[in-house]
Chains A and B, each alone.
Chain A
Amino acid sequence: EVQLVESGGGLVKPGSSLKLSCVASGFTFSSYGMHWIRQAPKKGLEWIALIYYDSSNKYYADSVKGRFTISRDNSKNTLYLEMNSLRSEDTAMYYCAKNYGEVMDAWGQGASVTVSS
C-alpha cells in the first residue's frame, strides 16, 4: 500500500524559513516523480512543484519560484520542500503526492503551515 507521510509543518513568522519532508513507502520511490500541492484554509488546490524521479528536472508555480526548492533523497525515500521568505499567503495545508503519468495518484495526509506574526 502506498503511504506518504508529511512532516515539518508549524507556525512561523513572515520572512522565516521552513523545510517540509515527505517519507514514502509501498512503492519504488526512485522510479516516480513527486509533487507538492497546497490548499489554503477553505480554499482550492494549488500545484506548487514537481521533481522528476532522478531530480533531473524541477518545475515550480510562479507564486513560489525563487523562494521554494523541491528536492529528494532516493536513498531515504524522502521528498523535501524548502520554503524561504515565507509570507502570510503561504499559509496552507501542504500535500506531497506521487506522480503517475503527470497526475497525482496518491496523496499524503498533509502538513499544516501557518505564517503569522
Chain B
Amino acid sequence: DIQMTQSPASLSASLGETVTIECRASEDIYSNLAWYQQKPGNSPQLLIYDANSLADGVPSRFSGSGSGTQYSLKINSLQSEDVASYFCQQYNNYPYTFGAGTKLELK
C-alpha cells in the first residue's frame, strides 16, 4: 500500500497569514492526489484534485502543487472559516490511502 505522510500534524496561524501543508507519498503517485477539508463536526469536502485543480466552489486562496512523491496545499490570506483539519489522499493505486491529517487552528 502507498503510505501518505502528512506534515505538520497541527498548525497554528494568524488571520491573513499564508500556511502550507505538506504530503509525501511512499512512491510516485503521478499527481493523483487530492486534498480535503473537514470542519469540526462536519463531513470532509473536496478542495483540490489532480494535485493542483481547484474543486467547484473552493475559494482561490487555496492552491495545490507538487509532483512525484511531494505535494503541498497552500492557503493564502488565512480566514477564520479555514479552521479545519486537512487530509491528503492518493488515488494512484488501490487501496486509496489518506494522510493522517493536519489540524489548523487560529493563533
Contact = CB atoms under 8 A, between A and B. Distances in A.
A binds B: yes
Q: Main SS of chain A's interface residues?
A: strand
A62 B95 contact: yes
Contacts of A104: 34, 36, 44, 46
A75 to B, nearest CB: 26
Interface residues of B, number: 23
Interface in B77-104: 87, 89, 91, 94-101
B46 A103 contact: yes
Contacts of B55: 105
Contacts of B12: none
B52 to A, nearest CB: 13
A45 B95 CA distance: 13
Interface of B: 1, 32, 34, 36, 43-46, 49-50, 55-56, 87, 89, 91, 94-101
